Amino acid sequence: MNWFLLFEIIYILAIILVCLRIIYDTRSTTKTLAYLLLVIFVPLLGMIIYFTFGVNYRKRKIYSKKLIANEELSEQLRQNILKYSQENFLHARTMLEPSRELAFMLANDSMSPLTAGNSVKLLINGENKFPEVIRAIQQAKKFIHIEYYIYEDGEIGRTLENLLIQKVNEGVEVRFIYDDFVSRSIRRKQVPRLRKAGVQTFPFYKVNFLMFANRLNYRNHRKIIVVDGEIGFVGGINVSDRYINHPDNPGKLYWRDTHVMIEGPGVHYLQYLFLCDWNFCAEECLVPNDDFFPPIHTLPQKDNKMVQIAASGPDSDTPTVLFSMLQAIHLASEEILITTPYFIPGESILDALIVSALRGVSVKLLVPKNSDSFIVDAAARSYYEDLLDAGVEIYFYHKGFVHAKTMVTDRKTAIVGTANMDNRSFDLNFEVNAIIYDEAVANELRQIFYEDLQHAEKLSPETWRNRPVTVQMLEKTARLVSPLL
């Protein structure tokens, strides 16, 4: 028997089978072509990369996100949410008119209610966020729910640990979810300390050796804190000392990020997301009740900000975070201001920004001069020429590393959250953004954007086009794999 011929036949059959699986299983045409090219031209390594990063969990759902299994009750809840959202729209019709389609898209797509009666506070950088977090946790009376992508056992991580243990001793229930891969440094010491003290602690989608490949790719990028169902935090700032800029340590890299604190009914959907994630991680069955979701009429009316939450992940039927950003871009008529540390937009976002600029909307994009990934930088820069040609203004932030994920449209709508403007956030990670329909908040975030531009350099279209051919070739090559990043 010709063993070489047999091996060749098996090898070709394997490539064919993997290609068929890619065609059947991959949602994006661009991503399908990228994986096919990789598997065909770099067969063994390409197969490894595909099975590590490419399996479509939007079809093979990691977990059910439903807290309510009864379909009839679920439909009734959906109708109640739509009715509640409609009532809030009618009460604030003038303010919400420009964003009506966005608000109802989210209510229909993910049952995220349009909420009124919220207080909203923007928190710029870790030095402003963590004092508010500590203050809210200190005041907790019933429960504290914490979910983080990165949690490190540093100065702020230890401060929060001690405070959580103190609250447990006071009789407060504390539940803590951490990403098992990115926060793996806390597994050996900090997690056992928390559990021993009574903090209910679980990893999100635990990474085991046999399942390492698939589980490494689908991470929980959310940063959520909910206190007593009344106060919530969400945004880009993880629990790490790097996010705190000390004036007495000028040599440290300046870390520019944005978070938001919400008080009021807008916290309910953050709570819903946490409970879904908790039931999956802890294999429990916590159900909605008045403790977790205080009736809206019992919540203190501190302000009247309109808030809605956009969240999605590999478990979602649709990429809600992507759809909400697209809709916000399409609805803008005057100005779009975007800050993101990673910009690999895909064709839909790219086309939306180009069309907006061509129809006369002022589009400005703020990104780091250098991120923490060379290949991501190269892939991102391959998109810039198309944007610049359409009139989009691009700025490189040089004061430090800008990690904020924000958008402001028409001085009326502000988006602050965990999602980067890249394929990973749109399709692979579990993400969450807060959308605030309020002129005061939008103008405050707009002012912060323009303050950040004081520490940024504007790209010149002419200079950018005249980059060395070798650099352009490298960027265009990186762009070929951008759907996989």
Instruction: Give me 45's structure tokens.
Output: 């390594």
pTM as predicted: 0.87
Instruction: Give me 250's structure tokens.
Output: 């000028």
pLDDT of the residue at 292: 85
Q: Mind listing the pLDDT tens digit for each residue in 35-52?
A: 787 788 777 777 777 776
Q: Which residues pair with 465 in a beta bridge?
A: none
Plot region of 467 (φ>0 → left; ψ -120 to 50 → alpha; else → beta):
beta
**Which residue ranges does the chain devote to CATH 3.30.870.10?**
71-94+116-306, 320-484
Q: Mind listing the pLDDT tens digit for each residue in 119-175?
A: 999 999 999 999 999 999 999 999 999 999 999 999 999 999 999 999 999 999 999
CB 299 within 8 A of CB 117: yes
pLDDT of the residue at 70: 45
CB 263 within 8 A of CB 231: yes
Give the rounded percent of residues in the chain with a pLDDT score beyond 70.
88
CB 310 within 8 A of CB 300: no
31 classed as catalytic: no
405 classed as catalytic: yes
The top-scoring range by mean pLDDT among 66-70, 97-101, 284-288, 309-313 is 309-313
Within 8 A by CB and 6+ apart from 4, the residues are none
Exposure class string for 421-438: b at 16+ Cβ within 10 A, else e: bbbbbbbbbbbbbbbbbb
Residue 293 to residue 307: CA distance in whole angstroms: 16
Residue 422 to residue 406: CA distance in whole angstroms: 13
Q: Mind listing the pLDDT tens digit for each residue in 388-399?
A: 999 999 999 999
Give the chain's radius of gyration (CA, Å). 23
pLDDT of the residue at 74: 56
Query: For residue 57, is pLDDT > 60?
Result: no
User: How crowded is the C-beta side of 355, counted as CA atoms within 13 Å?
Assistant: 12
Instruction: Give me 1's structure tokens.
Output: 């028997």
Q: Report, as an integer, the average pLDDT of 413-430.
A: 92
221 classed as catalytic: yes
Query: For residue 304, is pLDDT > 80?
Result: yes
Query: What is the per-residue DSSP string for 100-124?
Result: HHHHHHHHHHH----EEEEEEEEEE
Angle of helix 320-331 relative to helix 346-358, nearest 10 degrees, comes to: 10
Query: For residue 92, is pLDDT > 80?
Result: no
Residue 335 to residue 446: CA distance in whole angstroms: 10
Q: Considering only CA atoms, which of 370, 381, 359 is closest in space to residue 465?
A: 381
Fold of 71-94+116-306: Endonuclease; Chain A (3.30.870)
CB 15 within 8 A of CB 40: yes
Residue 321 to residue 435: CA distance in whole angstroms: 11
372 classed as catalytic: no
Fold of 320-484: Endonuclease; Chain A (3.30.870)
Locate tokens 């009618």: which residue?
90
405, 412, 422, 438: the active-site residue? 405
223 classed as catalytic: yes
145, 223, 305, 412: the active-site residue? 223
109, 153, 180, 228: the active-site residue? 228
pLDDT of the residue at 96: 77
Query: For residue 484, is pLDDT > 80?
Result: no
65, 167, 221, 268: the active-site residue? 221
pLDDT of the residue at 132: 98
Query: For residue 215, is pLDDT > 70?
Result: no
145 classed as catalytic: no
Instruction: Give me 439's structure tokens.
Output: 């002129």
